[in-house]
């Protein structure tokens, strides 16, 4: 695959963003991060999820039930992907062989947060620790602070999370029971690097190229075994230099986030302070964002019911 295909995928994301109305977009004195998940099949490319977002919601965890804490664009894209995937599973009546023919690419308008500053020397140990922590403890607090965009919070940085997805896939813990194998990224496409002076191929490679020591305490199910050609390729698309996505010092981080995904047409939500726009914390339980923990859980439970009904009727025949 040549570089122009990565340019094309980046361009798909930019054009889709430009086609959206103003709601949730940064004002003239704000910047945001753009992220897109693209599906490749037989040399054709389709944008599946498009997100923006720069913020983390901070505060006591007990007061943040049903709130999306990490609203960085990369993390929202992964959540939106789960909705898309559940739509695919539903449509295919639980038969997922065609997923093997798809490649997934993640475009991010700037380097994912953490680990790339010229002074950083800690690119190896911490992501590995983060992976261990994610898998063993099942939660993600206390390992690393999410830096860079907006107020820091205790969630893991995006590069740690991308590393985790590299191993465990984008489908998440629940959906692995249906996909049976992790859905991994084929490539990571990064834009805007010239403007932010962050272009550093070596550091990105280092941060992602972590091999898990088989002797470590990490006990991964064999379905998560990863071989050398399953690491995402990293591509910098230096010509992608759109102004809302360049983090100039005089600009503020945009507080709202946009989440769109493809599922029989576009589904979109605007997220403000970790909640669907117009919904307050009290109503979040009855009207959750579809990409919140509760929104995804509800959808998953409905999906399982449908599949069970289907299997039962097949069995009766
Ligand atoms: Zn981030």
Under 8 Å between Cβ of 75 and 257: no
**pLDDT for the residue 151:** 59
How far, in Å, from the CA of 303 to the mean position of ligand 1? 30
Cα–Cα distance for residue pair 36/3, rounded to 1 Å: 17
How far, in Å, from the CA of 74 to the mean position of ligand 1? 7
DSSP symbols for 11-27: HHHHHHHHHS-STT---
How far, in Å, from the CA of 309 to the mean position of ligand 1? 40
Most confident of 2-16, 84-98, 140-154: 2-16
How far, in Å, from the CA of 277 to the mean position of ligand 1? 21
Cα–Cα distance for residue pair 208/75, rounded to 1 Å: 17
For residue 204, what are its two tokens? 């990105």
Structure confidence at residue 136 as a pLDDT band (50, 70, 90): very low
Under 8 Å between Cβ of 206 and 124: yes
pLDDT at 198 over 60: no
- Over residues 18-27, the mean pLDDT reads 96
How does pLDDT run across 200-258, given as a tens digit for each residue?
667 666 666 555 555 554 567 788 887 777 888 888 887 777 889 988 888 899 999 99
Of 138 and 78, more confident: 78
Q: Which residues surround ligand 1, an ion (CB under 5 A)?
A: 72, 113, 158
How far, in Å, from the CA of 85 to the mean position of ligand 1? 23
**pLDDT for the residue 208:** 64
How far, in Å, from the CA of 258 to the mean position of ligand 1? 15
How far, in Å, from the CA of 232 to the mean position of ligand 1? 18
pLDDT at 158 over 90: no
Under 8 Å between Cβ of 48 and 13: no
How far, in Å, from the CA of 90 to the mean position of ligand 1? 31
Structure confidence at residue 103 as a pLDDT band (50, 70, 90): very high
**pLDDT for the residue 144:** 46
How far, in Å, from the CA of 144 to the mean position of ligand 1? 12
Closest C-alpha among 125, 123, 135 to residue 167: 135
How far, in Å, from the CA of 297 to the mean position of ligand 1? 24
Percent of the chain having pLDDT more than 70? Answer: 76
Range with lowest mean pLDDT among 11-15, 104-108, 125-129:
125-129
- Over residues 287-307, the mean pLDDT reads 94
Cα–Cα distance for residue pair 277/257, rounded to 1 Å: 10
How far, in Å, from the CA of 113 to the mean position of ligand 1? 4
| Helix-strand-coil split of the chain, %, nearest 5 | 40, 20, 40
- Over residues 9-24, the mean pLDDT reads 96
How far, in Å, from the CA of 305 to the mean position of ligand 1? 35
- Over residues 42-53, the mean pLDDT reads 96
Secondary structure, 3-state, 234-252: EEEECCCCCHHHCCCCCCE
- Over residues 140-156, the mean pLDDT reads 55
How far, in Å, from the CA of 186 to the mean position of ligand 1? 20
Quickly count: other Cβ atoms within 10 Å of residue 54's Cβ.
23
How far, in Å, from the CA of 308 to the mean position of ligand 1? 37
**pLDDT for the residue 230:** 81
Beta-strand pair 30-31/252-253: parallel
Quickly count: other Cβ atoms within 10 Å of residue 230's Cβ.
13
**pLDDT for the residue 194:** 59
Structure confidence at residue 196 as a pLDDT band (50, 70, 90): low
For residue 288, what are its two tokens? 């959750």
Average pLDDT of every residue of the chain: 81
Of 145 and 102, more confident: 102
Structure confidence at residue 274 as a pLDDT band (50, 70, 90): very high
**pLDDT for the residue 20:** 96
Residue with tokens 């099942």: 138
**pLDDT for the residue 199:** 60
């Amino acid at each position: 695959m040549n570089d122009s295909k990565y340019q094309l995928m980046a361009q798909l994301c930019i054009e889709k963003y430009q086609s959206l109305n103003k709601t949730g977009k940064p004002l003239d004195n704000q910047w945001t991060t753009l992220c897109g998940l693209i599906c490749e099949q037989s040399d054709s490319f389709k944008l599946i999820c498009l997100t923006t977002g720069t913020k983390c919601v901070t505060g006591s965890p007990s007061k943040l039930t049903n709130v999306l804490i990490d609203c960085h664009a990369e993390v929202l894209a992964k959540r939106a992907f789960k909705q898309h995937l559940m739509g695919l599973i539903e449509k295919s009546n639980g038969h997922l062989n065609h997923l093997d023919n798809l490649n997934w690419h993640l475009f991010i308008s700037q380097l994912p947060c953490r680990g790339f500053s010229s002074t950083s020397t800690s690119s190896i140990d911490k992501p590995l620790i983060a992976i261990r922590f994610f898998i063993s403890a099942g939660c993600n607090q206390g390992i690393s602070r999410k830096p860079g965009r907006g107020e820091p919070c205790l969630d893991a940085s995006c590069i740690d999370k991308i590393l985790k997805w590299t191993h465990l896939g984008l489908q998440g813990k629940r959906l692995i029971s249906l996909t049976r194998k992790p859905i991994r990224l084929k490539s990571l496409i990064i834009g805007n690097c010239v403007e932010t002076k962050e272009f550093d191929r070596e550091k990105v490679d280092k941060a992602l190229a972590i091999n898990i020591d088989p002797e470590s305490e990490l006990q991964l199910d064999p379905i998560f075994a990863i071989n050398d050609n399953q690491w995402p390729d990293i591509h910098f698309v230096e010509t992608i230099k759109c102004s809302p996505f360049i983090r100039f010092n005089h600009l503020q981080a945009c507080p709202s986030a946009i989440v769109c995904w493809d599922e029989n047409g576009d589904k979109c939500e605007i997220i403000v302070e970790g909640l669907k726009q117009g919904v307050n914390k009290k109503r979040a339980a009855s009207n959750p964002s579809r990409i919140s923990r509760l929104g995804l859980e509800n959808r998953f439970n409905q999906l399982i019911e449908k599949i069970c009904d289907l299997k039962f009727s097949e069995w009766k025949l």
